[in-house]
Amino acid sequence: MFDKLVPKVKCSTAIGSWEDGSVSKARLLPFLSWVVVVAVATFALPSIASAEDAAPPKDLVNAGKLTYGTAAGFPPFEYLKDGTVVGFDIDLAAAQGVMRSAVKYAPLRKFPTSGFDLSVVCDLRAPVQTIGDALQKLAVPDLAAIEFVRQYTGAPLSSGQKSVSYRLEVGALDHTLTADEVTAIRNRVIDGMRALGFELRV
C-alpha cells in the first residue's frame, strides 16, 4: 500500500547509487573528507588574520594609562546613549581609573610605631569623618595609621554632644620614636584640635 502512495526516488551520485548499494565505504569516505576540507577552507580562511592585523593599535596601550574596551549593547551595563557609551560598567571603569591614579607608593616601615587614643567632644550632628580628617592632617607627616574606635553619647556629656574616639599610630621611617617624641606629636594634635574649636577628653 505504501509502495503505491510513496514513489521511489533514485539518488545517484558520481560515486555510486544509493538504490543499488553501489556506494561503498571505501568510495564514500574520501569523498566526505574532501567535502569537509572544502567547507573548512570556505568558512575559516576569510576569518584568519595576520599577526599584524590582530595586533592592537599602537596608541591603544600606553604605560601608566588604563585602557578598556566594551561591546556597548547590554543595557544597563554598557550601551549607547546619544552617541556616547554609558552604563554601570563604564562608571565603574572610570572610578577604577580615579582610584588607580590616587594610589601612591609608600616605603615599608623598618621601625615600630607607637599608638595613642584621642576622644574628641563635638556637636551631636558633626560628621565623624570630619573629626578623622582633622586628626589626620594634624598628625602628618608622623601618622602611620588612623582608626575609628567608637562614638559615645550620654553622661557626663550634654544631650547635644557626643564623644568620637580615634586611635592614631605614629612613627618615623629612619628610627624608633622615643616616648618624648610620641608625647610631642600627641600634644601637637591636641593643640591643633583645640585651635579648631574642639574639646578633647584627655
C-alpha span between 27 and 25 (Å, rounded): 5
Task: Give phi and psi for 153, each to the nearest 5.
Answer: -130, 145
Q: Which domains does the chain have, with CATH numbers?
A: 2-42 (no CATH), 61-104 (no CATH), 114-201 (3.30.70.380)
172 with 142: CB under 8 angstroms? Answer: yes
Crossing angle of helices 179-195 and 128-139, in 10° steps, is: 130
pLDDT (tens place) for every residue of the chain, 202 residues total: 445 544 444 444 444 544 545 555 556 566 666 666 666 556 555 555 555 555 666 776 776 666 767 777 888 778 888 888 888 777 777 776 665 655 566 778 899 999 999 999 999 998 999 999 999 999 999 999 999 999 999 998 999 999 999 999 999 989 999 999 999 999 999 999 999 999 998 7
User: β-pairing, 114-123 with 12-13?
Assistant: unpaired
What DSSP character marks residue 50? Answer: -
Nine-digit cell string for 119? 576622644
Q: C-alpha angle 96/101/107, rounded to 5°?
A: 120
126 with 153: CB under 8 angstroms? Answer: no
pLDDT value for 97:
65
C-alpha span between 120 and 156 (Å, rounded): 14
pLDDT value for 42:
60
pLDDT value for 108:
82
Q: Which residues lie below 8 Å from residue 80, measured CB to CB, with a gap of 6+?
A: 72, 86
Q: Taking the model in full, what pTM does it have?
A: 0.50
pLDDT value for 34:
66
Q: Of 173, 175, 171, 168, nearest to 190 (Cα)? A: 168
Q: How many CB atoms lie within 10 A of CB 148?
A: 13
Q: Which residues lie below 8 Å from residue 165, measured CB to CB, with a gap of 6+?
A: 117, 118, 119, 120, 148, 149, 150, 151, 152
pLDDT value for 102:
58
141 with 174: CB under 8 angstroms? Answer: no
